[in-house]
Structure 1
Amino acid sequence: MKNSDEKRTDPELSYKVLALQVTCHAVNQSSDRQEARLLMQGAIDRLGQQIAASLAFIGSGCRLVLLPEYFLTGFPMGEALEDWAEKACLEMAGAEYEALGAIAQKHRIFLAGNAYEVDPHFPGLYFQACFAIDPAGSIVLRYRRLNSLFAPTPHDVWDRYLEHYGLDGIFPVARTEIGNLAAVASDEILFPEVARCLAMRGAEVLLHPTSEVYGQPRSPKDAAKISRAVENMMYVVSANTAGIANSAIPIASVDGGSKIVDYRGLVLAETGAGESMAAFAEVDLAALRRYRRQPGLMNTLSRQRFDAYAESYRDSQFYPRNTMLNGSIERKHFIHTQLATIERLAQQGII
């Protein structure tokens, strides 16, 4: 992974971005690791064709393609942590990332998405990671989901994670020729602090791979996408799944609504249900940077008084950190920890 502090060279101030809405083919019913890997490779092969066709339609100005949440595997449905890690999780420099890198190289694009992956520093655990691969095929952004109800996160092994990756590794921003890229996963769009910490580090384009219900007017996630764009004065690119196949849940339960929102909260492009490349639009970095540098009422980013809130955050303990430092544990740990947190906050009169 390249150093996120590298300076931009020859920036592209205007380009097209695509939130590619594709079907996820789950690996839950695979009998073993080998069968799951074959399904993943099949998904990558399909993606290569779909990306090539989409770029031919959109044109050479498309520089960034975002794929949905866990597009290679689906999500765990009761599997033990160690079983899911073995069957469905990628290695940080594994064959799947290499194959995706080859697609990025072939089309000279930034290719971003989301996958479950293992980390040799944390045996027995896995993380859900958002990634971005540059046109050279190198991973330039790796963000591990910080808020998850049913999966390990860096916060669950906080002290050790900081030792290995530091705070900028928890809130990474990749400085590239197409702008400063950052990412959040799925319902993390509902946690404004994550996007805010990324904005503090210069993020301009927020990548949001997701797998969510679509069609309910003004759903919480839809409202949050616009809110994160406006309050941080950044683009939000959100790619949803076009359903999940090979799963016990009905295939279209999470399908549709991929969209691109600009720094003013305007929805530039949006697609309905089904596999689609209709959610593409222009990212105008020059306009974004002018907007961020103009004084006035609308420049809320420059008007932030973070020090006024710091003490309240520091003194408030809600969901505890470091609960998984001893490695793999049973999946019921997550809901038990949440229930204990709710009980404690109720006793304190907070909720």
Structure 2
Amino acid sequence: MATDLTPNTSVLAQQQLYGHKKITFCNDESTGLKAIIAIHDTTLGPALGGTRMWTYASEGEALEDALRLSRGMTYKAAITGLNLGGGKGVIIGDSRKDKTEALMRSYGRYIDNQNGEFITAEEMGTNTKDMEYIRMETKHVTGVPESMGGAGNPAPFTAQGVYLGIKASVKEVFGTDTLAGRTVVVQGIGSVGEELVALLRRENAEVLVSDINAERLTYVAKKYGAKPIAADKIFSVVADVYAPCAMGATVNSNTIAKMNFSIIAGSANNQLRDETLDGKLLLEKGILFAPDYLINAGGLIACYSELTGFGKKRAIQLTENIYDATRNVIKLSKTEKIPTNVAADQIAEKRIADLKRIK
């Protein structure tokens, strides 16, 4: 999945480079909506992906995020064995101030115009209430409240998958997957991060937490008996596991050089800033990287189970497969002497290519 973009790369060049099928730009002056819907691939099924609302520095930054995230969804669905393609929506704005019912419903109409090629769910900056507003305009949405017959918040499933990915990685590095006594740094304690902290503390792992929201940091640390640390101190900490659960690109040449971790396994999307360079650097330094789109697939599984009518029991069963899937990626990485992110890509790409030939 390596890319080579410059700030001046045109939209069409980016679409071609990432291999996207379709990009839709959404603009509604009456509600203040500015959004991008990126559909990467629909070989395996309709493109499913959450909608993120963020205060991007520029429209170009928002576009690149949509393209990278949607491509990651294609690979996530493929490696998890789901019959889904990859897509993503991003809304440019501050979710705390700019989000309204009118804005979300306007966005819902743009989703409806995709004619079923794109199905959305909640993501960073959006929630089940927003999905409820979108559902008023289109049926192509999942993760709606349980009171409406949906699966509700997918965060617990995402956290469970990450937890299993951590255990599979710890098994590889330390010979046993028990987390008692292991030290884990969780960066970002939103809904997924907090769920992960709860799971880790339940197994008596020592947990360090960091977040840009000081009030939430204090709350979560006190609630679960975790140790709060400042954001600028993360990469000076000696720990068994680093779990990035906020924005991507925290794993890069600068931070890797400072790291004192044995394992990187978290829920954040696109954790590697440069997928080619950073994967190699981690391999050379002996840090085991659990590919993000593999271990954070629990939320996607929950949404898929809602769409297919499987229900929570089946979602839990499919999420449990993340443990073995992580072990398989690690095994291929060791056998071929390639970074784990490359090994995961190969497994995902093979499934897509095989089914493309059938079609």
Pair in the same fold by TM > 0.5: no
Scaled by the length of structure 2, the TM-score of the pair is: 0.29
With CA pairs under 8 Å and 6+ residues apart, which has the higher RCO, 1 or 2? 1
Scaled by the length of structure 1, the TM-score of the pair is: 0.29
